[in-house]
Chain A
């Protein structure tokens, strides 16, 4: 359900040449942005450590697309346990009172904030799609190039932020 879908953001390759993203966005900056979400919204439980391993299963995935001077996607995935803990904090509910839609909405806002802050670093003009959340990797990934993969660890639960460059106008 609710899998990543085309969001209407024009995925063209105008603007930044391939490889130029690093001038603006480093893995360290991505980790800082993710940390700022935890600092602000989960202040009692806010430490993200560098992660060392990919999760065996990435159970919840959020994605948001950026278009404009640079085109691509920011993808954030985590374990279901991490997603539920984020949702519980944002909705102020106990974990067992959460619906699937609550968990998806919370991860959607997480990827929206992380993606929005990444967008704001890129040279204007840029545009941002509405986030989508699902539990499987979409086919769009086959055509995109992985620019950054940042592994984080939140109290033993994996959180992964990936930045993908769109392949070209045909990708969506």
Chain B
């Protein structure tokens, strides 16, 4: 029941290469089987073949479980230095200045995974932008997977996760150690909310944001879906709001109406018009 057929293995090879740039050589057949056995058991299916069929059907929870099982690649805090530098130096100062009368700030992490990106933003605001402490903040994280949204909400992280790019000063300030896990401080957790959201489906009526982080998710969509998601994101940005994409992603050729600005080692996109 635990053996992967050659066809299953080749599918998983391609899937993991596409999804996570993981290269699995043929001799890793054994590794696939031992690592996926617990996933097979937890998913309540009979075999690796059934897992493969679930992925082919687009079952995102199974996808996430398989990628998690095959990688030790924890999401980093402050993932990629450049976008967070752009947030600190350009985006946040500008957006905060523009909202000084409204005293409101809304930020959406639209593919939030286990929450590191949004919690990182919350830490930056707390540590470096004390002027917004009394504002109405809406820090919103969404993802397609129940598993990752639940984990993001719980605010519990392992030592391996906490090691990934989190400055020591933030570790001691924003986390407490509890039962082998590092738990995000209540003061920070109370500022964020996490919900399920499928970017590829029609979007329900929703509020507008000052900043949308849409990072490392467009790469999984076909061109038509990319264009649709970017149009929707633009429609839900406030005038002169900012869109931050992953390093390999760009709105070029997909959507009009963004002004691209080089910022450190990255490019950020400001919605045109005031």
Contact = CB atoms under 8 A, between A and B. Distances in A.
Contact of B72 (A32, A40, A117, A120): A40
Interface string A1-45: 000000000000000000000001000010011001001100111
B67 interface: no
Given A24-B179, A43-B72, A36 B158 contact: yes
Nearest to A23: B179
Contacts of A43: 72
A47 interface: yes
Contact of A33 (B34, B37, B72, B180): B180
Contacts of A32: 158, 180
A24 B178 CA distance: 9
A36 B74 CA distance: 12
Interface string A52-85: 0000000000000000000000000000000000
Interface residues of A, number: 17
A121 B182 CA distance: 10
Scoring A39, A45, A47, A121 by chain B CB atoms within 10 A of each residue's CB, the highest score goes to A47
B159 interface: yes
Contact of B35 (A24, A29, A47, A121): A47
A49 B34 contact: yes
A48 B159 CA distance: 18
A49 B37 contact: yes
Interface residues of B, number: 11
Contact of A40 (B34, B35, B160, B179): B160
B90 interface: no
Contacts of A29: 179-180
Interface string B156-192: 0011100000000000000001011000000000000
Nearest to B28: A44
B180 A39 contact: no
A117 B159 contact: yes
A44 to B, nearest CB: 8
Interface of A: 24, 29, 32-33, 36, 39-40, 43-47, 49, 117, 120-121, 155
24 contacts: A24-B179, A29-B179, A29-B180, A32-B158, A32-B180, A33-B180, A36-B158, A36-B160, A39-B72, A39-B160, A40-B72, A43-B72, A45-B31, A46-B72, A47-B31, A47-B34, A49-B34, A49-B37, A117-B180, A120-B177, A121-B177, A121-B179, A121-B180, A155-B34
Interface of B: 31, 34-35, 37, 72, 158-160, 177, 179-180
